[in-house]
Structure 1
């Protein structure tokens, strides 16, 4: 996990500003990635080959310097909500929302634990909190696992997919419909578990998502 403390970061930024007379408005936007093992690049061992590293590299090359904060693996929407609403770092983000955007990729692991209505309620609350703080958000959907439909009904996969677009529309957020776009159906881009993208897969995902992240950064709330 690559956890970051927003409170510690804020304190460090203040110290640097006092020491070097750095204008806070010159700080690059900060992208917070809140999600599960997909966006946290489970199984990709080289730090330079993760989704976040590839995305940062692509944005830099396109003229968008950013800082990316990976808050670490949150296996369910419930834990993602708890991070934002209860943790020191989540509360720090709420207290200092300016110059931040959030990419949210949560929910795929929920079907083994909670009902779809509860997944939707958790994500709705996350998006509501961020909307109140005027933090631009990119909602990233995923495809439901096959076993979810077997366990919860044939219509689960369709309802699950629609949930992301409905929530993004409700809150006026950007939507990237499926994290694994460009990778699904290509076994050479997946790890041995036939689920998580490998380094080459993460590179393709980051490249495909880049234009949407650029649109997200265009909405950043300046300090």
Structure 2
């Protein structure tokens, strides 16, 4: 009888223990599910719209381009943001103005505009570049009036002539002022003209160069994420 009582007691305790364990497991799973739901519902999107610099032209992996490096910084800080890359190699401001409406079909909260470099390298009229970029900004605001827009400033080589160089460089601060944008003074700061940080074409950054681009962007972008 005593042995049966002991066995019965052990079985009862094990049953209670298993029941509690199952409840704890179910509770933990539900908590994780709730956290994921909250994370997904509160997560915001950062849309990077640009040319080959944004696309990471010539790199071994897209993860080496500055938008992906921004995502790595965001993840390390556990901030609720997802980076969406929309870079197209060879894109001009005119091409971007034609493409933007399709890109804006996805939800976004912060918009990073990186275009104009190809205009400058081709010596296109600065007035046209200004108007194309302004048109893109207006279309973005029409879709999402509350979004924050970051504009990446660019420069052209001195070989384009001093008059053109000054007019081109003036495009970006003028746009930032007119449309109340957050300005990255020069996206390629610390990289442009540095042989060891650029690929053989002397135009597109290496992986190390893209890392510096990410830092240049992060200085302006980080305060907007806090």
TM-score interval (norm. to shorter): 0.7 to 0.9
TM-score (norm 1): 0.75
**1:55 match:** 70
Q: Decide which of 173, 186, 201 is 2:194's aligned counterpart.
A: 186
**1:210 match:** 218
Q: Which protein is richer in helix relative to its size? A: 2
**Count of matched residue pairs:** 189
Structure 1 residue 208: Cα displacement: 2.9
Q: C-alpha separation between the residues in 2 aligned to 1:26 and 1:182?
A: 38
**Contact 1:138–1:173 under 8 Å retained in 2:** yes
**Contact 1:81–1:122 under 8 Å retained in 2:** yes
Q: Determine whether 1:83 maps to 2:99.
A: yes
**2:153 match:** 141
Structure 2 counterpart SS, 1:137: strand
Structure 1 counterpart SS, 2:223: helix
**How far does the alpha carbon of each residue in 1:142-190 deviate from its partner, in whole angstroms, 9 at most, with x for none?**
11144543xxxx3111111111001011111100011111212432111
**Contact 1:81–1:125 under 8 Å retained in 2:** yes
**1:26 match:** 41
**1:155 match:** 163
TM-score (norm 2): 0.74
**2:30 match:** none
Larger radius of gyration: 2
Structure 1 residue 130: Cα displacement: 2.2
Structure 2 counterpart SS, 1:38: helix
Q: Work out which structure has the larger RCO, using CA pairs closer than 8 Å and 6 or more positions apart in sequence.
A: 1
Identify unmatched segments of 5+ residues in structure 1: 1-18, 219-223
